[in-house]
Amino acid sequence: MGFFDQFPRFYQTSQTSPLPDRLNARHRAIVADNASHFAGKRVLDIASHDGRWTFAALKAGAAHVIGIEPRQELIDNARITFREYGIQDGTYDLWTSGVMEAIDGVRVDTVLCLGFYYHTRYHVDLLDKIERTGANFVVIDTEVTPSREETSLSKDNGDPRQVFDNPYSMQLIRDEVGDQQMAYSDSVTRNGHTLVMRPSRAAIHGMARHFGYRVTEFDWPAYFAENPSHADAMTDYRDGWRSTFFLERI
């Protein structure tokens, strides 16, 4: 049984890939394999959505978790879920805000930046603010712009999100602000879209090194070799355009 199978409300409180295999596999990579970075720790969950990772961190023994999420309906869902599953008040705070407006002054041990690093155009500034939280451990789970060698997709598949030749690239993307999984409306929004950038794998490594972190990646190919049926819900990870990065302070 996967972690979220015990808490099935999370399969209903989001429209953003609430697929059991996907959420459970991500839980294994992000939380279960890194238990020591949660037990007794202060955690920041950036883009906390319906509370899925704030909740998982608390269940892994976190002393306190702050979730930051601009969409009020998702915060409301999280509060209802936490109450239903008996999470104690006082062990978490959920702030309705964009991360850049709220993160200053936060001090934590562990930062989760999951499903967000490709819905922003402030990568460098956000990583600077993350480093200033004092975090020794940061997880960035994100889509990446893969190089040709990093993807198993055909380069001629017609998908404009695929391949760039500059290994340190940031790829400009327009996010639809009405879509619950994307950036929310901000000052540069025009015609229902705002501008964000999706980093390459090399750009993530380069930025993390700049701020004093060593980077490793979860071994998704090995995971899919062990759990082939889960790949259907995780084609982005399988095909090399999404991954899970672990940043440890050097």
Ligand X SMILES: C[S@@+](CC[C@H](N)C(=O)[O-])C[C@H]1O[C@@H](n2cnc3c(N)ncnc32)[C@H](O)[C@@H]1O
| Contact residues for ligand X, defined by CB under 6 A | 16, 46-47, 49, 52-53, 68-71, 74, 98-99, 114-116, 119, 141, 181, 183-184
CB of 78 to ligand X, least distance (A): 10
- Residue 169 or 194: the one with the smaller Cβ distance to ligand X is 194
Q: How far is the CB of 70 from ligand X (least distance, A)?
A: 5
Q: In whole angstroms, how close is the CB of 165 to ligand X at the nearest point?
A: 27
Q: How far is the CB of 166 from ligand X (least distance, A)?
A: 25
Tell me how far, at minimum, the Cβ of 47 lies from ligand X, in Å: 3
Return all residues near 162 (Cβ < 8 A) that are at least 6 apart. 145, 146, 151, 153, 155, 241
Tell me which residue of 176, 168, 159, 165 sits closest to 235, measured CA to CA.
Answer: 159
Rounded CA separation 54/45 (Å)? 6
Q: Six-digit token pair at 164?
A: 């760039």
Q: What is the 3-state secondary structure (H, E, C) of 70-103?
A: CCHHHHHHHHHHHHHCCCCCCCEEEEECCHHHHC
Residue ranges of alpha helices (H) inside the chain are 20-30, 52-59, 72-84, 99-102, 123-132, 201-210, 220-226, 235-238
Q: Which residue is nearest to ligand X (CB)?
A: 115
Smallest gap from Cβ 99 to ligand X, in A, equals: 4
> Based on CB atoms, which residue is closest to ligand X, 147 or 218?
218
Give CA–CA dist 158/144, Å, rounded: 17
- Asked whether 55 and 81 are in contact (CB, 8 A), the reply is yes
Question: Of the two residues 27 and 147, which places its CB atom closer to ligand X in the complex?
Answer: 27
Nearer to ligand X, 111 or 147 (CB): 111
Cβ closest to ligand X, residue 131 vs residue 141: 141
Closest to ligand X by CB, 68 vs 231, is: 68
Q: Which of 108, 106, 110 is nearest to 35 (CA)?
A: 110
